[in-house]
Structure 1
Amino acid sequence: MQTRRLLLSALLATGVLAALPAAAQSKDREYVVASSATYTPFAFENKDKQIVGFDIDIVNAIAQKEKMKLRIVNTPFTSIFASLNNGDVDFVISGVTINDKRKQSFDFSAPYFDARQLIAVPKSSTVKSLQDLKDKKVAVVSGSTGDDVISRVQGKTSANIRRFESTPLIMSELSGGGVDAAIGDNGVIAYRASLDPNLKTVEDPNFPKEHFGIVVRKGDKALLDRINAGLAAIRADGTYNTIYKKWFKTDYVAQ
């Protein structure tokens, strides 16, 4: 009996016993996921203040495959990486582009979305490429990639480039006939265009390809492996395409 008490005391002193319940309950752990709910259709708040969108459906589908419990928190994009580094959240899904600079500080999942620029025009338009916009009035978000690409075609000071503060504004200008085209991130442009039966989208193969990834802390291989396994599973069984079609009104085609 005395020996058992001594062993118990030793375990408590070393923290081993305290760690046992956490280990036993690891399968029930809740993962906190950060997403900036200001980027329709990837993540945004609905009328009931719930965070919804493509990113949210994707991460929930991954969690279902991997039997992970999630709590999604609306986090400003400007502080989303600090929240991850500080341990306030376990991982991030928020339309984050995978690039070499970010990969120095964080680890990324396999790509879950193929990103690029996309042109929106009226359905009657004959525009087939970026070069066809050389003499057209084009709306872009000021300082965006879309602004850069049309500035290289028309010249940065071109009076035909109309700059606005957000994608909804450039799409509103296009719908109202104020411009001949709008250029922006493909996911957002495709979603907004799908809401207007008088608009269509035009792809230009010369636009550079980018990819969105789910972000974890550097070296968190166990979590990254689970995310990648879940992502591979939803791609394989058609769940990914179902979610993609729900938000973008078309089947997914690999780029």
Structure 2
Amino acid sequence: MRHHLPAAALAAAALLALSACSGSGDDTAAAADGELALVTPGTLTVCTNPPFEPFEFEDENGEIVGLDIDITREVAEDLGLELEVVVSPFDTLESGASLNTGACDISASGLTITDERAAKFDFSQPYFDADQGLLVAAGSGIDDVDSLAGKKIAVQMATTGETWVEEQGLTPVQFEDLGLQIQALQTGQVDAVVNDIAVLGAFVSEGLEVTSTFPTGEQYGLGVKKGNTALLEAVDATLERIHEDGTYDAIYTERIGTAPLAD
């Protein structure tokens, strides 16, 4: 546990050095010479796209919370920074635009690590294993790929779920976020919803059920602008720490409802 803290401390020191020598406030440029670049000095700004419960969603007080927010708050605390959460369209996250335009320092929104995305921004080490799931009306009889033939399938645009549906030769209907997917299923606009299995459990009520899981070997990572190596190293150091000291297990259990499977 303790041997990971110096990495975070060094990154924090790099932040202080950068803040001391930068009076222009232009921290949206790429980091130079390994220094930690931040959009706003003293703040770790995180872009996310709710609703995507339990990873990011609005609680009863109107605050954005969830597993991704819990993890990025740990990063901020290790660096001695405040955390600011910015709601952004998912396509700006998966394309890297949110990072490259200086909207935020980290993209955290259940982002599956892919080669295409990794060409646009850097990923942290994986922090969550994810497969695709199938949510349908109870008693629909839709429970596998074959039974989806000819059906309208709600997908979240620019996600790996959309890619999976297209690869099966099925008919995807795009929606901007998970909430709109669920609404379309409840109102009969579509026959099924495909999205990450971990987020579908919250909707297994009022006549909806998860009938299948499609293993894809997907893993989530946090996104950082290319060139900001000090921040990426700090993120990875925090991920290693929280896995070793039990913090990750506690966050996972609270948000997912079960303890993570042992490696």
| Aligned counterparts, 1:244-255, within 5 A | 244-253=252-261
Matched with 1:98 is 113
Q: CA separation in 1, counterparts of 2:185 and 2:257? A: 20
Q: Summarize the Cα distance change of 1:147–1:53 in structure 2 as closer, same or farther, 3 Å threshold.
A: same
SS in 2 for 1:116: strand
1:119 and 2:131 are equivalent in the alignment: no
| Aligned counterparts, 1:229-240, within 5 A | 229-240=237-248
Matched with 2:209 is 199
Give how far 1:248 is off: 2.2
Q: CA separation in 1, counterparts of 2:185 and 2:75? A: 36
AA aligned to 1:204 is F
User: Are the counterparts in 1 of residues 44 and 76 from structure 2 also a CA contact under 8 Å?
Assistant: no
Give how far 1:136 is off: 9.0
Q: How many residues align?
A: 224
| Aligned counterparts, 1:64-213, within 5 A | 64=77, 66-77=78-89, 78-79=91-92, 81-120=96-135, 129-131=144-146, 133=147, 139-141=153-155, 145-146=160-161, 149=164, 156=170, 163=173, 165=175, 167-168=178-179, 170-171=181-182, 182-193=193-204, 199-200=209-210, 202-205=212-215, 208-213=216-221
Pick one of 1, 11, 35 that aligns with 2:47: 35
Matched with 2:4 is none
Gaps of 5+ in 1: 1-18
Give how far 1:128 is off: 6.7
User: Are the counterparts in 2 of residues 191 and 247 from structure 1 also a CA contact under 8 Å?
Assistant: no
User: Are the counterparts in 2 of residues 190 and 201 from structure 1 also a CA contact under 8 Å?
Assistant: no
Matched with 2:62 is 49
AA aligned to 2:214 is D
Give how far 1:227 is off: 1.0
SS in 1 for 2:84: strand
Residues 99-108 or 139-148, more deviating: 139-148
Q: CA RMSD in A?
A: 4.0
TM-score by length of 2: 0.64
Q: CA separation in 1, counterparts of 2:97 and 2:191? A: 40
Q: Summarize the Cα distance change of 1:120–1:253 in structure 2 as closer, same or farther, 3 Å threshold.
A: farther
AA aligned to 1:118 is G
SS in 2 for 1:222: helix
AA aligned to 1:107 is D
Give how far 1:30 is off: 1.9
Instruction: Say which structure is richer in helix.
Output: 1
AA aligned to 1:199 is E
Matched with 1:243 is 251
Q: CA separation in 1, counterparts of 2:43 and 2:246? A: 25
Give how far 1:45 is off: 3.0
